[in-house]
Amino acid sequence: MKTFCKLLAIAAAFGLAPTAAYAANASGPAPQAAELAETAPPIDPVTAAPTATPAQPAAAQPRTPPTPGVGQPDGRMGLQDQVTELGREGAWFHNAILLPLIFAISLFVLFLLAWVMVRFRRGANPTPSRTSHNTTLEVVWTLVPVLILVAIAVPSIRLLAHQYAPPQADLTVKAIGNQWYWEYEYPDHGINLISNMVPEAEAARRGEPPQLEVDERLVVPVGAVVKVIVTSNDVIHAWGVPALWTKIDAVPGRLNETWFRAEREGVYYGVCYELCGARHAYMPIAVEVVSQARFRAWVAARGGTLPGAQPAATSTPAPAVAATEGTEATPAPSNVVAATETAPATNQAATANENR
DSSP secondary structure of 6-41: HHHHHHHHHHHHHHHHHHH-TTSHHHHHHHHHHHSP
Structural domain includes residue 192: yes
Could you say which DSSP state residue 54 is in? P
With a cut of 50, say whether residue 57 has pLDDT above it.
Answer: no
**What integer pLDDT is reported at residue 31 of this predicted model?**
36
CATH code of 283's domain: 2.60.40.420
**What integer pLDDT is reported at residue 14 of this predicted model?**
44
**What integer pLDDT is reported at residue 2 of this predicted model?**
60
With a cut of 50, say whether residue 346 has pLDDT above it.
Answer: no
With a cut of 80, say whether residue 315 has pLDDT above it.
Answer: no
Structural domain includes residue 271: yes
Structural domain includes residue 126: no
Using the CB atoms, write b or e for 261-285: b if 16+ within 10 Å.
bbebbbbbbbbbbbebeebbebbbb
**From the CB of residue 24, how many other CB atoms can be counted at a distance below 10 Å?**
8
**What integer pLDDT is reported at residue 15 of this predicted model?**
42
With a cut of 50, say whether residue 323 has pLDDT above it.
Answer: no
**What integer pLDDT is reported at residue 66 of this predicted model?**
87
CA triple 272-274-279, angle to 5 deg: 65
Q: How confident is the model at residue 61 (pLDDT cuts 50, 70, 90)?
A: low
Lowest pLDDT segment from 221-235, 249-263, 297-311: 297-311
Lowest pLDDT segment from 99-108, 113-122, 184-193, 338-347: 338-347
**What integer pLDDT is reported at residue 271 of this predicted model?**
94
With a cut of 70, say whether residue 246 has pLDDT above it.
Answer: yes
**What integer pLDDT is reported at residue 67 of this predicted model?**
86
Positive or negative, the Cα torsion across 124, 126, 127, 131?
positive
Q: How confident is the model at residue 42 (pLDDT cuts 50, 70, 90)?
A: very low
**What integer pLDDT is reported at residue 6 of this predicted model?**
57
Q: What type of residue sits at position 20? A: A
Q: How confident is the model at residue 3 (pLDDT cuts 50, 70, 90)?
A: low
CA–CA gap between residue 341 and residue 46 (Å, rounded): 95
The tens digit of pLDDT for each residue in 65-112 reads 888 888 898 888 889 999 999 999 999 999 999 999 999 999 999 999
Q: At what angle do helices 2-24 and 29-39 cross, to 10 degrees?
A: 80
Q: Collapsing DSSP states into helix, strand and coil, what is residue 286?
A: strand
**What integer pLDDT is reported at residue 224 of this predicted model?**
94
Q: What type of residue sits at position 109? A: V
Structural domain includes residue 127: no
More confident of the two residues 349 and 295? 295
The number of residues making up the chain comes to 356
**How many domains does one find in the chain?**
2
Structural domain includes residue 177: yes
Q: How confident is the model at residue 64 (pLDDT cuts 50, 70, 90)?
A: confident
Structural domain includes residue 216: yes
Residue 17: domain span: 9-40
Structural domain includes residue 320: no
Q: How far is CA 67 from CA 77, 173, 177, 218, 224, in A?
A: 19, 24, 27, 17, 21
Q: Collapsing DSSP states into helix, strand and coil, what is residue 51?
A: coil
**What integer pLDDT is reported at residue 77 of this predicted model?**
86
SS (H, E, C) 304-335: CCCCCCCCCCCCCCCCCCCCCCCCCCCCCCCC
CA–CA gap between residue 216 and residue 198 (Å, rounded): 9
CA–CA gap between residue 261 and residue 227 (Å, rounded): 9
131 CA to centre of own chain: 62
How large is the average pLDDT for residues 315-333? 45
With a cut of 80, say whether residue 211 has pLDDT above it.
Answer: yes
Cβ burial of 146 (10 Å; 0-12, 13-18, 19+) is exposed
Q: What is the dihedral of CA 239, 76, 211, 231, to 10 degrees?
A: 0
**What integer pLDDT is reported at residue 300 of this predicted model?**
92
pTM over 0.85: no
Structural domain includes residue 91: no
